[in-house]
A = this chain, B = another copy of it.
Amino acid sequence: MIYFDNSATTRKKPKSVISQVVNGLTNYSANPGRSGHKASVNCAIAVNEVRENICEFFEATSPENIIFTLNCTDALNLAILGSIKKGGHVITTAFEHNSVLRPLHELKNKGLIELSIVEPKNKNIITASDIEPLIKDNTYMVVTVHISNVDGAITDIKEIGKLCKQKNILYLVDGAQSAGHEKISLKSDNISMLALAGHKGLFGPQGVGVLVLNDNVNLSPIRFGGTGTDSIKLLQPSDRPECYESGTIAVPNILGLDAGLNFVKKNFEIIQSKVAFLSKTLIYELKKINCIKLYTSEENLFGVIAFNISNIDSSIVSEFLNDKYSICVRSGLHCAPLKHKYLSTIEQGIVRVSLSYFNTVDEIYTLIYALKDFVKSFDIC
């Protein structure tokens, strides 16, 4: 099987990730922060070291600002629902995933916020100049994706971060597809909140996401319960990070994520370079096929390549690849309806090839061979 759906979940994990999850299920099988005994304390120390590691990599200010969640969607929900200012105004983009669009529309639909959605003026890149004209007196947050899960388009987060800082507005970045592929710094990118998926470019297991906070962010919890702190209080305490992490946290997943992050740190440049090379090769070869409609530009070599073949429904292509060649790609709408509207692919959907460091150039050529077979078989071009 050739797996090209790494934007959904990186299939192959470094061995250290699996061994750290097992370590979490055996040597660190206890509940951190709930007891004073060795098993619990060792666990709490290990988890805190992971917070430190994440904090350092994303240049946050303190391990207390590293919040573990179920997944990136959970992190985005905490950021969006937890920061709400009633009657306030939020700006987001047409390139967002439903994990951003749906919580924001939930708030809008309830009449709690005003919402503006920007489309880029220039080709397929969201910039500060798209955002700035929409800022109003009651704008309290800007939310943008960093790298689009549909076509790999990158957002100019640095300039938007600067703008938000200058205007004293929160800036929430959805790093689901970019973490592990591009450097992200809370400090130098002026990000208020960064949402991360553990199981994508960071090579961790499914079942852990992260919200990285800046110091100045005031966030209400969205889940309430045991925190291991202030047990006597019937209302949620305010200790950070505990107040956002009610209930037992997923220690094996957190340790697995740590191993994934260490793999990324150690190999960052080679990962970036290999994914860029694979992306470039794929784009180069796709362009040779006459009736390919390519949506990913050659500047966006982040391992997300989107295309269609003529006007053929994207799912017909993906089914052919799956059935005849055991090649896994995703088709249809990629949980980002406004992006598809922007690209005029609501009906057709998009064939998405998403790559990881563990893919090979041979796999790319097999895909190209298979696509040429498709074009020939269906006598399209």
Contact = CB atoms under 8 A, between A and B. Distances in A.
A98 B231 contact: yes
Contacts of A337: 231-234
Number of copies of this chain in the oligomer? 2
B252 A207 contact: yes
Q: Among A12, A236, A335, which residue has the most Cβ atoms of chain B within 10 A?
A: A335
A205 interface: yes
Contacts of A333: 231-232
A102 B29 contact: no
B225 A99 contact: yes
Q: A-B pairs with the 9 shortest C-beta distances? A: A73-B247, A207-B250, A99-B225, A37-B328, A8-B31, A226-B335, A73-B225, A102-B224, A231-B333
A8 B30 contact: yes
A78 to B, nearest CB: 9
A38 interface: yes
Nearest to A329: B37
B77 A224 contact: yes
A36 interface: yes
Interface of A: 1, 3, 5, 8-13, 17-18, 21-22, 24-26, 29-31, 34-40, 69-74, 76-77, 97-103, 105-106, 109, 197, 199, 205-209, 222-228, 231-236, 246-253, 256, 315, 318-319, 321-322, 326-338, 346
Contacts of A40: 5, 8, 328
A38 B326 contact: yes
A208 B109 CA distance: 31
B71 A235 contact: no
A253 B25 CA distance: 11
Given A8-B30, A8-B40, A100-B225, 17 more contacts: A5-B30, A8-B34, A21-B22, A35-B330, A36-B318, A36-B322, A37-B321, A72-B247, A76-B225, A98-B224, A99-B225, A102-B235, A103-B225, A105-B234, A106-B224, A207-B252, A231-B336
A346 B228 CA distance: 15
A39 B224 contact: no
B197 A248 contact: yes
A71 B36 contact: no
B30 A247 contact: no
A9 B24 CA distance: 12
Contact of A226 (B13, B24, B97): B97
